[in-house]
């Protein structure tokens, strides 16, 4: 009898030991890079360098030097413009899908969210093929047909806005779609019965009701744009346009590099994210009093658009054309060209770009990318789910603290995070810097907020009564775990794995500062080919990446309806 006592005690202890180790590792991994970042911003040289001394000069320069101030200003204006435009597009599409009788709206809705899962770097490369001055297809066609040299130049502020706004419109669409769908139709009907017309109802009822969604969406798009490194750098550096992430990249990589300046200006980016988070908190605190957006309710009103319904459908189709079809067709087409040129001729067509993909560096990059995103993604999924499992199991102060810690990297721009991670591991005696491990660790840190949130939702479905019921049926703790917990968590874990696969497979912002010769990934190949002027080679890499992405999205949709789930989350 005392045997059972003995067998029980170590199990309890083992769990608290394992969870303690998990918590400690997570906290160290997340917090150390941030500490290094702050520390480094007060030094004259990288932490650990023999000549490094304390200084305030970086901070002073970041807030006085016109280079940094204009980068800061550019970041603000770009993010604001992108957020507003993306929201207008997303809201219009969400309204069409959820509140009108536009034909085919439900099928198109599933396609409208595809840009969410694609890489905006690849889309930007597609747009270079479309709208590079003179040579882009659109400009070449305009020149041939109307004699206009360049109708639209992608290497411009408008170009950057176009790529990012179209990309984020899909995100805004999902947010507004969810909000519009969940407003109780009776609330609006009540407004109609009191004599308010559709416009008045829209402005006075619907808009205030979805205001929290508006604010949250604005903030998320704003921050996502503000931390976007690849698109503004790729399209902007040619005409001297810099945002903070591109400036940080510049400081880190262009000789003479100024890494501690990158840290100090990276902190500027952090203020933006921080201010946004506080602002959102205030709004949520104010609006949480009217919780009308609940799950149930009567069906929302459908507006009959009459003949305009075809125009509404056309809007959705137009978005797909701009967001996916045009840039990706241009990619595919130009991947068979020797170089981008306004004068197309048969002589230009070639398979060289694809033959180039068979070269060792590209094969290695493909293997690395697949290995990191599939294997690394699985490992990271497992870590997130385990971490969330421990957080859910115990309601201790440590669990709550770790939940907060897990949310920190979400607020830190990826490029800035990469600087912190770099400094953390470069000085470590362990041989991690320059290996695949540092990238996997970086991905773990970068996506921890998303991962913990998602796996918590997954675990929430596994109430403790379900595992207890298994115990009452005679199952041991281990058997209850494998028979009940694992199968119930599996679908959500698979979805998280897919999400991480797609994120890691296209990750450039932290990879670009942390990769080494042995750990080059496809996005890095693409980036380097573009920087060295091998545009069509880069395009072939982009096509390879995009093809893999489309296959995965298609497979994931067939297997567990990833598109439908994203829409109906």
Partner 1 sequence: MSVIEVSNLVRQYGSKRAVDNLSFSVQEGEILVIVGASGCGKTTTLRSIAGLDVPTSGTIRLDGKTVADGAVFLPPERRGVGMVFQSYALWPHKTIAENIAYSQIVRGTPRAEIGTAVDNALALVGLSGMGDRYPATLSGGQQQRVALARCAVSEPRVMLLDEPLSNLDSKLREQMRDELKVLIKKMRSTAVHITHDQTEAMALADRIIVMRDGRIEQMGTGRDLYRRPVNRFVADFIGVATFLDGQVVEAAGDKVRVQVAPTLSLLATPSVAAAGDGAVSLCIRPESVVLSATGSPAQNVVSGAIVAETFLGDHIEYVVDVGGLKIKARSQDDFTLGQTAFVLLPPDAVISLPAAVQCQTGKAA
List of residues contacting partner 1 (CB under 8 A): 1-2, 4-5, 8, 461, 463, 465-466, 468-477, 479, 483-484, 487-488
**Minimum distance, C-beta of residue 106 to partner 1, in the bound complex (Å):** 23
| Region of 533 on the Ramachandran plot (φ > 0 left; ψ -120 to 50 alpha; else beta) | left
Closest separation between CB of residue 463 and partner 1, Å?
Answer: 6
Q: How far is the CB of 400 from partner 1 (least distance, A)?
A: 16
Q: What are phi and psi of 303, to 5 degrees?
A: -85, 130
Query: First CA to last CA across the chain, in angstroms?
Result: 49
**What residues does 303 pair with on adjacent strands?**
100
Q: How far apart are CA 344 and CA 325, in angstroms?
A: 21
User: How far apart, in whole angstroms, are the C-alpha atoms of residue 94 and residue 312?
Assistant: 11
Which residues touch 81 (CB under 8 Å, ≥6 apart)?
161, 165
Between 69 and 469, whose beta carbon lies closer to partner 1? 469
User: To the nearest whole angstrom, how small is the minimum distance from the Cβ of residue 479 to partner 1?
Assistant: 7
Give the nearest distance from C-beta 349 to partner 1 in angstroms: 53
Tokens at 236, concatenated: 């902007």
**Least Cβ distance, residue 481 to partner 1 (angstroms):** 13
The answer to whether residues 166 and 144 touch, using CB atoms and an 8 Å cutoff, is no
| Torsion from C-alpha of 497, 502, 508, 511, nearest 10 degrees | 30
Report CA dihedral (71, 72, 76, 79) to the nearest 10 degrees. 50
Nearer to partner 1, 281 or 400 (CB): 400
What string of H, E and C letters represents the secondary structure of 415-427? HHHHHHHHHHHHC
Minimum distance from residue 467 beta carbon to partner 1 (Å)? 9
Closer residue to partner 1 (CB): 288 or 464: 464
Q: How far is the CB of 193 from partner 1 (least distance, A)?
A: 31
Q: How far is the CB of 3 from partner 1 (least distance, A)?
A: 10
CB of 468 to partner 1, least distance (A): 5
CB atoms within 10 A of CB 190: 13
List the one residue out of 174, 231, 171, 117 whose CA is nearest residue 548. Answer: 117
Non-local (6+) Cβ contacts of 459 within 8 A are 385, 388, 389, 392, 489
Q: Pick between residue 129 and residue 385 the one whose CB is nearest to partner 1.
A: 385
Nearest approach, Cβ of residue 495 and partner 1 (Å)? 15
Q: How far is the CB of 137 from partner 1 (least distance, A)?
A: 50
Nearer to partner 1, 198 or 487 (CB): 487
Q: Whose Cβ is closer to partner 1: residue 15's or residue 483's?
A: 483
Q: Which is nearer to partner 1, 60 or 466 (CB)?
A: 466
Pick 16 or 237: Cβ nearer partner 1? 16
Closest CB to partner 1 among 484 and 510? 484
Residues 420 and 270: beta-carbon distance below 8 Å: no
Give 5 or 360: the residue with its C-beta nearer to partner 1: 5
Looking at the Cβ atoms of 302 and 486, the one nearer to partner 1 is 486
Output 284 or 486, the one with its CB closest to partner 1.
486
- Measured from the CB of residue 472, what is the shortest distance to partner 1 in angstroms? 4
- Return d(Cα 499, Cα 398) in angstroms, integer: 28
Residues 103, 309 contacting (CB under 8 angstroms): yes
CA distance 81 to 98: 26
Closest to partner 1 by CB, 20 vs 487, is 487
Cα(72)–Cα(75) distance, integer angstroms? 5
Cβ atoms 452, 388 nearer than 8 A? yes
- Closest by CA position to 562, among listed 485, 484, 500, 488: 500
CA-CA distance, 307 to 252, in Å (whole number)? 56
Q: Which of 93, 100, 284 is nearest to 174 (CA)?
A: 93
What is the SS3 assignment for 256-309?
Answer: CCCHHHHHHHHHHHHHHHHHHHHHHHHHHHHHCCCCCCCCCCCCCCCECCCCHH
447 φ/ψ angles, rounded to the nearest 5 degrees: -100, 15
């Amino acid at each position: 009898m005392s045997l059972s006592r003995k067998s029980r005690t170590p199990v309890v202890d083992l769990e608290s030991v394992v969870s303690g180790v998990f918590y400690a590792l997570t906290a160290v991994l997340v917090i150390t890079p941030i500490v290094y970042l702050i520390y480094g911003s007060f030094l004259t040289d990288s932490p650990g360098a023999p000549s490094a001394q304390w200084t305030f000069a970086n901070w002073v320069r970041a807030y006085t030097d016109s280079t940094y101030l204009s980068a800061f200003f550019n970041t603000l204006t770009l993010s604001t413009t992108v957020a507003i435009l993306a929201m207008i597009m997303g809201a219009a599409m969400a309204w069409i899908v959820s509140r009108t009788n536009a034909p085919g709206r439900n099928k198109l809705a599933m396609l409208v969210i595809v840009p969410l899962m694609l890489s905006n770097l690849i889309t930007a490369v597609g747009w270079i093929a479309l709208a590079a001055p003179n040579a882009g297809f659109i400009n070449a066609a305009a020149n041939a047909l109307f004699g206009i040299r360049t109708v639209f130049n992608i290497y411009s502020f408008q170009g950057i806005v176009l790529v990012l706004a179209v990309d984020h419109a899909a995100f805004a669409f999902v947010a507004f779609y969810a909000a519009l769908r969940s407003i109780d139709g009776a609330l609006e009907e009540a407004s109609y019965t009191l004599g308010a017309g559709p416009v008045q109802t829209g402005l006075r009822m619907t808009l205030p009701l979805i205001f929290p969604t508006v604010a949250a969406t604005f903030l998320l798009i704003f921050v996502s744009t503000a931390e976007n490194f690849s698109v503004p750098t790729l399209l902007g550096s040619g005409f001297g346009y810099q945002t903070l992430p591109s400036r940080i990249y510049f400081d880190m990589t262009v000789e003479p590099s100024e890494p501690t300046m990158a840290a100090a200006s990276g902190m500027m980016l952090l203020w933006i994210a921080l201010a946004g988070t506080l602002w959102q908190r205030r709004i949520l605190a104010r609006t949480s009093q009217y919780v009308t957006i609940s799950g149930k309710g009567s069906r929302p009103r459908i507006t009959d658009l009459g003949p305009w319904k075809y125009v509404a459908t056309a809007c959705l189709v137009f978005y797909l054309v701009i967001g996916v079809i045009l840039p990706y067709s241009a990619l595919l087409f130009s991947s068979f060209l020797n170089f981008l040129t306004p004068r197309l001729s048969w002589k230009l067509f070639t398979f060289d770009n694809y033959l180039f993909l068979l070269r060792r560096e590209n094969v290695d990059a493909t293997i690395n990318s697949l290995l990191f995103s599939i294997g690394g993604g699985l490992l990271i999924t497992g870590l997130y789910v385990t971490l969330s499992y421990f957080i859910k199991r115990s309601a201790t102060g440590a669990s709550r603290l770790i939940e907060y810690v897990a949310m920190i990297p979400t607020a830190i721009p990826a490029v800035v995070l990469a600087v912190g991670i770099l400094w953390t591991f470069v000085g470590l005696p362990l041989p991690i810097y320059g290996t695949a491990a540092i990238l996997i660790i970086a991905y773990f840190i970068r996506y921890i907020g998303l991962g913990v949130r998602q796996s918590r939702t997954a675990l929430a479905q596994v109430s403790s009564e379900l595992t207890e019921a298994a115990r009452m049926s005679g199952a041991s703790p281990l058997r209850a775990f494998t028979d009940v917990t694992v199968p119930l968590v599996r679908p959500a874990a698979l979805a998280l794995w897919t999400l991480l696969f797609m994120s890691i497979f296209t990750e450039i912002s932290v990879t670009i500062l942390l990769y080494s010769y042995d750990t080059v990934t496809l996005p890095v190949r693409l980036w380097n080919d573009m920087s060295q002027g091998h545009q069509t080679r880069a395009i072939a890499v982009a096509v390879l990446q995009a093809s893999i992405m489309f296959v995965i999205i298609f497979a994931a949709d067939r297997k567990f309806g990833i598109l439908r789930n994203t829409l109906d989350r």
